[in-house]
Amino acid sequence: QVQLVESGGGLVQAGGSLRLSCAASGLTFSMHTVGWFRQAPGKEREFVAAITWSEGRQYYSDSRKGGFTISRDNAKNTVYLQMNNLKPEDTAVYYCAVKVAGLGGGLNIGSSYTYWGRGTQVTVSS
* pLDDT at residue 65 tops 90: no
Q: Averaged over 3-23, what is the pLDDT?
A: 97
CB neighbour list of residue 125: distance below 8 Å, 6 or more residues apart: 11, 12, 13, 14, 88
Q: What does the pLDDT average to over 106-124?
A: 96
Q: Is the pLDDT of residue 54 over 90?
A: no
